[in-house]
Structure 1
Amino acid sequence: MSIMETIHIIGLSPGSLEMSRRARKTLSTANLVVGGKRLLAACQDAIPANGCASLPIAGPLSPIIENIRKTAKAGDSVVVLADGDPLFFGIGKRLGEELGQENITVEPNISTMQLAAAQLKLPWQKMDFVSLHGRTDYAPLYAALVRADLIAVYTDSENTPAEVARALLERGAECFAMTVLEDLGTPEEQIRPLALPDTWGMDFSPLNIVILERLYPPEIGLTLGIPDHFYLHQKNLITKLPVRAAGLAHLNIEPDSTVWDLGAGCGSVSIEASHLARRGRVFAVERNKTRIAMIRENIRRTGAWLVDTVLGPMPESLRGLPEPDRIFIGGGLGGETNHDSSLLTVACDRLKPRGRMVIHCILLDSLHEAKDHFQKLGWHFGVTQLQASATDSLAGDLRFKAQNPVFILWAEKP
């Protein structure tokens, strides 16, 4: 086993970029100093003038980490400069994973989040944290909107505060207030409470953090077993509560699951699936524009911001979606318009290995088609027939009114 010189990761105070005496002493013996250009410039007077190289962090981290590894293995001292706490959405985590935690030491400083909370006088032990650095999707932000009342968002040059506001407005998440804190710890420090629509076209300092605070709760609490009449739906086209509960149980959704709800109708399955896939993604796919509008309204009512709506025919509209761990098909296999559809074939192909699919069938042709398909594929599958009855008023008393029987077909991909 090769011996590696300990790598020192030093956090600088946000804004002022000051460091402790201990950090200055460590830096004075360095052979290689690594950090962003802004951090290197701020520490120039503490970096040894002779025999010390500086390596700016720009572009991919992999070659920089490899350079750090080689230098440390050669027995030279390496210091990595970070902003605030290196282990809180910082470079410390990545270096620990790549180089081994036993080969690093960390001297943290106050984090930007601590400074922001102090300026706003906000207790933050129950706050949720989201980093959008380098991300092309906002799934972590939408998940945080569901579970937290107070959220800190780390932005970047692409995912600006204005883009965060746009994402919230597109989902109908107008129940959150936004505060943008810029250049904290510097003379240019600015704290701006902003209405979401007001951020359109605004410029922000690259050094900013966004705090989102819930103003009021959703109209309907996001849980399993939401009553059918709470959902806006069309012509009784809804997966009724008893069948919905059984279907979700058969799906066996995990917290990190990516879920497709195909033929989503009013979105009741998607919305309750998002309560289970709280760190994953949920896509409600529907070809009818009116129903898509209903899904979006139901998302707004329940605060199920994690659900993405996809309008279009199937299977064409599935092409750009990430591979699913779970697929629910509540509509789209039966009926005259779907006789020649390749939906089931495409869904089976795209499902991840060891993934699970659940199909609700009312028509016998649909049941036989799906059963035969899974038999040909050699998948493990089963069928449950569910016939539920619910109370209904009659002659001043109650009677049981039968709902349509449904075949719940589940299958597991090898």
Structure 2
Amino acid sequence: MMYIEDDEFIRGNCPMTKEEVRILSISKLGVSEDSRVLDIGAGTGSVSIQLAKICSKGGITAIEKDEEALCLIEQNRKKFNVENLKVIEGEALKVEKDAQGPFDAIFIGGSGGNIDGIIKLYGSKLESRGNMVLNFITLNNLYKAMSTLKDMNYKVECIQVSINKTRGNSYMMTSSNSIFIVKAVKP
């Protein structure tokens, strides 16, 4: 399965996990074609849509609270002809009962400041030895997440990536925010 490039997605003003970070994060999830995956804080749906293509015999559940983002997920679902994606509207901590597990993997791209609560609540829906992958731009949320995961006896690793791309005819390098990618394996 080829990865979808950023400019192929319909985008608005909502955050989107950028192509290179999306590729790395999905590879850390360790999914197969029949995996069941949960995407919390789905934004434009770039991770959910890509996962739905990879897990063609499985199912993806996306949770998102922002109305504009929900519209973009639906537009992208139609554009990429994705049928194995269930979208749940609402705050992750309030719609937990609608996310029917268990899941083989969980991706957390947004937490609304409730990262420790989300990890604890949704960690119970992750299969034993399943992977939880989380993306962060702030050190505060990174620390909270790693601390919570270690307290729950997950095996935790973290990488930091910084993507730079050329721009314009002079090929000036421009950088995106550094991103922390955490992979946690449930005991």
TM-score by length of 1: 0.43
Question: Are the structure 2 counterparts of residues 356 and 327 from structure 1 closer, same or farther at C-alpha, using a change threshold of 3 Å?
Answer: same
Q: Tell whether the 8 Å contact from 1:333 to 1:344 is kept in structure 2 after alignment.
A: no
Where does structure 1 lack aligned partners over 5 or more consecutive residues?
1-222
The structure with the largest strand share of the pair is: 2
- What is the number of equivalent residue pairs in this alignment? 186
What SS does the corresponding residue of 1:322 show, helix, strand or coil? coil
Q: Give 1:405 deviation, angstroms.
A: 0.4
Q: Which has the larger radius of gyration?
A: 1
Task: Report the Cα distance in structure 1 between the residues aligned to 2:93 and 2:33, rounded to whole angstroms.
Answer: 26
- Segments of structure 2 that go 5 or more residues without pairing to the other structure are none
User: What is the DSSP-based 3-state SS (H/G/I as helix, E as strand, rest coil) of the residue aligned with 1:255?
Assistant: coil
Deviation at 1:322, TM superposition (A): 2.2
2-structure distance, mates of 1:348, 1:371 = 13
SS in 1 for 2:182: strand
Partners of 1:376 and 1:242 in 2: CA distance: 30
Give the Å deviation of 1:350.
Answer: 1.6
Residue-by-residue CA offset, 1:227-248 (whole Å, 9 max, x unaligned): 2122122326110000000000
Conservation of the 8 A alpha-carbon contact between 2:133 and 2:184: yes
Deviations for 1:273-310, whole angstroms, at most 9, x for unmatched residues? 11221111101110112211110000101112211111
Q: Work out the CA distance in 2 between the residues paired with 1:392 and 1:225.
A: 22
Shift of 1:318: 2.3
Q: State whether residues 356 and 412 of structure 1, in contact with CA within 8 Å, keep that contact through their aligned partners in structure 2.
A: yes
Name the CA distance, whole Å, in 1 between partners of 2:85 and 2:43: 14
TM score, norm. by length of structure 2:
0.93
Deviation of 1:353 after TM superposition, in Å, equals 1.0
Residue identity (%)? 27
Secondary structure of 2:71's counterpart equals: helix
Equivalent residue letter for 1:252: G
**Residue 298, structure 1, aligned to residue 98, structure 2:** no
Q: Is 1:261 equivalent to 2:36 in the alignment? A: no
Give the letter for the 1:365 counterpart: N
How many angstroms apart in 2 are the aligned matches of 1:362 and 1:236? 15
The amino acid that maps onto 2:177 is N
Aligned to 2:108: 329
Structure 2: how far apart are the matches of 1:297 and 1:333?
23
**Native 8 Å contact 1:255 1:280 kept in 2:** yes
Structure having greater relative contact order (Cα 8 Å, sep ≥ 6): 2
1:381 matched to 2:149: no
Please show how residues 19-30 of structure 1 align to structure 2 within 5 Å: none
Give the conservation status (yes or no) of the 8 Å contact 1:224–1:272: no
